[in-house]
Amino acid sequence: MPKLLDTALQLDKSDLLKHYREQFHIPKDEEGKAKIYFCGNSLGLQPKKVTQYLQESLHKWQSQGVEGHFEEPAPWLTYHILLKASLAHITGAHEHEVVAMNNLTTNLHLMMVSFYRPSGQRYKIMLEAGAFPSDQYAVESQLRFRGYDPEDAIIEVQPKPGEETLHMDDIIARMHEHKEEIALVLFPGVQYYTGQYIDIQKITEAAHEIGAKAGFDLAHTVGNIPLQLHDWNVDFAVWCSYKYLNSGPGSNGGVFVHEHYASDTTLTRFAGWWGHDEKERFQMKKGFRPMYGADGWQLSNVNILSASVQRFALEMIAQAGMENLRKKSIQLTDFLESCIQELDPEGQQIKIITPSNPEERGCQLSMFVLRGGKHLFQKLTEASIVVDWREPNVIRVAPNPLYNTFEEVYRFYEILKSTLHAY
């Protein structure tokens, strides 16, 4: 038995989370065999039991109509509260600091309305170079809306020449270089292209030290890496739920707002009636009075059908425990990295651009393919391996600790090896 396969089987045997795989629908190929699904950083798989939660809401709608807002169990009027405990566990927050609502980019705009407060020479926003397009577009439009030129008002932090990832010292040095100009520092938790985990705590501390706010796009971080947003004093964070939270395509996003701002009525915000004081909400009076905490940024009642799916998916993650998921995630990416290095030790065909230090990455390795990358991606797809292609030449491989196995990583290695040797 090959050494790598023996390692994979031993790791699977000792895996404390292996029973969770049975709780997911795994896509199958034309022959009915399970595909190797390493694309959780784009869309997580469907938990089997979400059908039950969704059917409960559909039945309530069918049998009760509008009364479903008020009738137990799980009245729609307060349904978003059912998601709070799990979200708080996953993000390291108090329940009043988190709420499921809208989608990621809508939430980012809402947060920038409140936390991007330009004044005098302090009007610039710092981003990482190559930020996800949604973040770039949101920032550009917010700046233009306030009368600033994005070419002047955006400070981008780039990797060193010849490198793919950022150094924390360089980010912090750049902050201090522009310490009188920066109003908001906006970074991802995990950079989508390289898979680099950026130290949220250090970024936040440095931002506050220069008098700026610290916000984070956690689309590729939430459900992937354990977070302590409250203890780290993060001002705000936003995320989607269809990646590592396995809540379905286009599902409700979420926000974190630190309790420092829980009752701060001086913050500018774009208000909606669901963020209004629930004790007065149905009195239909003029004059917005925000709810305490993150709930005060809600615009409308939550999408119940989407939240029904999200509710079970979040409960499953909280039950598995973020520390347990993180431990297996590190094991999966370590094993995947060792397989790729065994295959191409000199990096002549594949260069892993994700940091080798497990503390600087989540459940993702980005393979920079030196030649024929798109062809390799297509061959992997034909072999029933679901990975993700990012222009110009990166294949993102993201084994998820909830439902992927170490034997799948080994099978991926074998198929990758045979494909590379074929050209």
pLDDT tens for residues 14-52?
999 999 999 999 999 999 999 999 999 999 999 999 999
pTM for the full model? 0.96
Rg (CA), the chain: 22
CATH 3.90.1150.10 segments of the chain: 3-34+322-421
Tokens of 391: 């222009």
Cα(238)–Cα(254) distance, rounded to whole angstroms? Answer: 6
Cα(51)–Cα(340) distance, rounded to whole angstroms? Answer: 37
The pLDDT tens digits of the residues spanning 271-307 come to: 999 999 999 999 999 999 999 999 999 999 999 999 9
Cα(31)–Cα(326) distance, rounded to whole angstroms? Answer: 33
CATH 3.40.640.10 segments of the chain: 54-319
Tokens of 302: 């939550």
Q: Are strands 98-100 and 254-257 parallel, antiparallel or unpaired?
A: antiparallel
Contact call for residues 123 and 148 (beta carbons, < 8 A):
yes
Looking at residue 423, its pLDDT comes to: 64
Bridge partners of residue 369, in order along the sequence: 350
Question: For residue 64, which phi and psi values (nearest 5 degrees)?
Answer: -120, -15
Q: Which residues, including other chains, have CB under 8 Å from residue 372's CB and lie 6 or more apart?
A: 423
Regions of the chain with pLDDT less than 50: none
Question: For residue 286, which phi and psi values (nearest 5 degrees)?
Answer: -75, 160
Cα(174)–Cα(152) distance, rounded to whole angstroms? Answer: 15
Q: Which residues, including other chains, have CB under 8 Å from residue 274's CB and lie 6 or more apart?
A: 281, 298, 299, 300, 301, 302
Cα–Cα separations (whole angstroms), residue 266 to 2, 111, 231, 255, 263: 64, 14, 23, 19, 9
Cα–Cα separations (whole angstroms), residue 84 to 61, 87, 179, 283, 309: 23, 5, 36, 26, 14
CATH class of the domain comprising 54-319: alpha beta
| Local structure of 285: helix, strand or coil | coil
Cα–Cα separations (whole angstroms), residue 297 to 98, 189, 291, 417: 10, 22, 8, 50
Cα–Cα separations (whole angstroms), residue 237 to 39, 212, 398, 420: 23, 15, 23, 41
User: Counting Cβ atoms within 10 Å, is residue 148 exposed (0-12), middle (13-18) or buried (19+)?
Assistant: middle
- With respect to CATH, is domain 3-34+322-421 assigned 2.60.40.10? no
Report the 10 Å Cβ neighbour count for 238.
30
